[in-house]
Amino acid sequence: MMKFKPNQTRTYDVEGFKRRAACLCFKNETEDEVLLVSSSRHPDQWIVPGGGMEPDEEPCGAAVREVYEEAGVKGKLGRLLGIFEHNQDRKHRTYVYTLVVTEMLEDWEDSVNIGRKRKWFKVDEAIRVLQSHKPVHAEYLHRLKGTCNPTCTPMCGPANGNGLSSHMTDDDAPHYVVCSTHCSDLVSR
């Protein structure tokens, strides 16, 4: 199903959830500093860059496109952290990936069009900042702490590149889905 809105097509899955994708953008492989962007609705608040998937777009492609548009960054796409559901007012299903930033544009689409800003935060600080305005975004970072990063030992996950990823819902009851940890190599537009 699709719903049209100016300059955007909203896509929904068969269960009526809006299809979304996002990336936790990190300064390097240690994943200790994350890039947040200012909210378009509340410019004094910070959010994780992400947004709706376009028709026929894969989640990993949507995540890369969204961080390019909202944060003006390119990088190496990493693992799928999980699929997070937000069910209260609007039904969203968001695929959240990691991305190590390799390039930051000085000017990018949302900085020029809406004055969006970006800022690096230590992960714990980012969780505190997100908790009041976007608690579901804070949950992405909480989930990060329970997953493997690329620099951890091989005991963290299967050698074939596939693993379990958390599927979170509003009631905090985890559901697990099998996911691939890689969608593409170096991402560039």
Which sequence positions are flagged as catalytic?
Answer: 69
Q: What is the token pair recorded at 7? A: 């300059």
Please name the residue that has the structure tokens 């800003």.
117
Nearest alpha carbon to residue 23 among 56, 85, 65, 53: 65
**Cβ contact 81:165 at 8 Å:** yes
CA separation for the pair 10, 63 (Å, rounded): 15
Report the sign of the C-alpha dihedral through residues 147, 152, 162, 25, in that order: positive
CA separation for the pair 134, 138 (Å, rounded): 7
Q: Is 189 helix (H, G, I), strand (E, B) or coil?
A: coil
- Other Cβ atoms closer than 10 A to 53: 26
